[in-house]
Amino acid sequence: MKKTLPVLIVLALLAALMFCSPQALAGARQALAVCAATLIPSLLPFFVLANLLGALGLPDLLGGLAGGLTERLFRVSPAGAQAFFLGISGGYPLGASVVGQLRREGRLSRAEAERLLCFCNNSGPAFILGAAGGVFQSPMAGLLLYAAHVLAAVTVGLLSRRGARSAHAAPGPAADPVPFPQALTAAVSRAVSATMSVCGYVVLFGALLALAEPCLAVLPPLANVLVRGFLELGGGIAAMAGLPPTPVHLAAAAFLLGWGGLSVHCQTLGVLADTDIKCARHLAGRALCGMIAAVYTYLGALALF
């Protein structure tokens, strides 16, 4: 049964694509437009720079400057500071990509990498302030959502340190920085591969959501938003356009931003595919981040709106 059920699901989706190909095509085209207009311009430079800085020795430099703070707060090796700060500034799935790279280089133990995934793979300020704040037509709403998002990540990081071993148990010395031309070539190659993987999942989920449109259309507005966002973050946030920035609506947006959507979880699996990191804690961490961010946002919205 475990093997039969996935096959049946895929066959059902294949049949839906065959019989409803115009709808799926329209959804895929819309997702491609999102990739071209938003994801590729925003993610690709971040991926290139993150990989390049990692190769040039940023984890050691940032670890020296802020590693003590992240070590005391989260009980992770100083190199984990790079994953935390890039994770809250670059957007999904940059944080996971940085964690994976640090693990490949031996700068993080497997246990540390899995704990970092709980709170270092986050939505970026560009998406939250631009897209999420834009749908509510309120810069204040965007700022509130981003502040709650970051505070939720820090909260989950603090919770994850319970029972963790000392960060000094991390693997040994980092490799020497590589020459700049070689680092740049490798960084661009890895960044293009990671960005195309992300776009592939966005297009896939865009087509699947288009197939599900008749079912989603009969749901109440907020339920429609939550179902869409549970599957694909961008579609869920976009579906909130026109809703007023009430505490409940903002809390729902905060949960979706923290959860990230199944599409983001698939993207995370993609950027970690060649590591020994397991993603179970990532799923739990994103769900917890979403719930905590929703509470913070709801309380903040009561005071501001």
Domain extent listing, the chain: 20-167+175-304
* φ/ψ of residue 75, rounded to 5: 55, 50
Q: Report the alpha-carbon angle 68-72-78, nearest 5.
A: 40
**Summary mean pLDDT of the chain:** 83
Percent of the chain with pLDDT over 70: 89
pLDDT score for 300: 95
Q: List the one residue out of 196, 199, 216, 195 whose CA is nearest residue 29.
A: 199
Measured on CA atoms in the order 197, 198, 199, 203, is the torsion positive or negative? positive
pLDDT level of residue 212 (50, 70, 90 thresholds): confident
- pLDDT confidence bin for 171, thresholds 50/70/90: very low
Cα–Cα distance between 286 and 283 in angstroms, integer? 5
Q: Do residues 203 and 181 make contact, with C-beta atoms less than 8 angstroms apart?
A: no
What average pLDDT does this structure show over 50-68?
Answer: 67
Smallest CA-to-CA distance from 298 within 261, 239, 252, 237 is with: 252
The alpha carbon dihedral of 42, 266, 88, 291 has a sign of: positive
Dist CA 264 CA 271 (whole Å): 11
pLDDT digits (tens, 9 = 90+) for 241-270: 888 999 999 999 999 999 999 988 988 988
